[in-house]
Amino acid sequence: MRKLFSGTKIKDLELKNRIVMAPMCMVVSDDRGYAKSWHEIHYASRAIGGTGLIILEATAVESRGRIKNGDLGIWDDSHIEGLSNIVQNVKISGAKIGIQLAHAGRKCEVKSEKIIAPSPIAFDNSYPIPEEMTKDDIKTVIDSFKEGARKADEAGFDVIEIHGAHGYLINEFLSPLTNKREDEYGGSLENRVRFLKEIVREIKRVWPKNKPIILRVSAEEYMEGGNHPEDLIDIINMVKDEGIDIIDVSSGAVVPANIDVYPGYQISFAEIIKKGTALPVIAGGLITEPDMAEEILKNNRADFIFLGRELLRNPYWPLEAAHKLNEEVEWPYPYRRAKL
């Protein structure tokens, strides 16, 4: 059997293949963060197409945690119903489903919100200078992640992903480029990890032990003085025993930087982190060809492959990939006449 289509199980998360739909902001919610019927159709389509695990877009644990007006929210109990509808549609259509719990920090672009960050440093000249978070702000956000996890479980998600990448709030605490604090949340690596560690601890109080937790990281910040894959190994090893089961490896977006992107440009980062942490990793980055995905898995460079834009272009990529790899997979019964 091709490894891309081999099943696996982590805790109670049982997946039929190694194909993961990466979280991608859709910005089609209303200004209060509620899910729409569009979300149900969008995510269920990828489930019908054969994706094993679908991870919802960055979903804000606070209103001020949105990246843009139109992002999904999970800061109020009234959000649960709409998210639950997405979950039910995806599961009926044959996939497992997770949600990315997120806070934009200084990269919040919602004009009506107060922008916060570990330090008062703007992302670039087009962003306002954020307010440095007080200890009360820190506690409030940690509690918001905890409550987001509770709501995610109530909505029926199989897994949660903590967004610690792409220059958003958790990443802002982790990076020496964006965290210039002089208290216990800044300075040394151990101090910069404290915010994430406390978030994971609080989430574990409400998230079922049998359901995994994914941590998404920016493994390379592409800037002198920033974090690099070896730093992320140290960070992950400091928090993994708190309850992290899988690492989703991405890169960049912490500070403006020139990035040389090409098919598989992030795979070496995932490989380094997999070896250094002994945790399963999700890897990707402009992966479009099934043979390339299979090579990454067969050579034990990653355990799962995430697809982003390729699944936007083609919701049925997994079914077509099986055909290209001469792998027999079950097609949805109503589509059986079209099977390649």
Q: Per-residue pLDDT tens for 158-179?
A: 999 999 999 999 999 999 999 9
Report which of 166, 172, 193, 145 is spatially closest to residue 248, judged by C-alpha positions.
166
- Could you give the residue ranges of the DSSP H alpha helices within 168-226? 169-174, 189-206
pLDDT given for residue 266 in this prediction: 98
Task: Round the average pLDDT of the chain to a whole number and report it.
Answer: 97
pLDDT band at 22; cut points 50, 70, 90 = very high
Cα(322)–Cα(176) distance, integer angstroms: 43
Q: Residues 6 or more apart from 153 whose CB is under 8 A from it?
A: 206, 207, 208, 211
pLDDT tens-digit series, residues 249-302: 999 999 999 999 999 999 999 999 999 999 999 999 999 999 999 999 999 999
pLDDT at 1 over 90: no
Report the predicted TM-score, pTM, of the whole model to 2 decimal places. 0.97
pLDDT at 193 over 90: yes
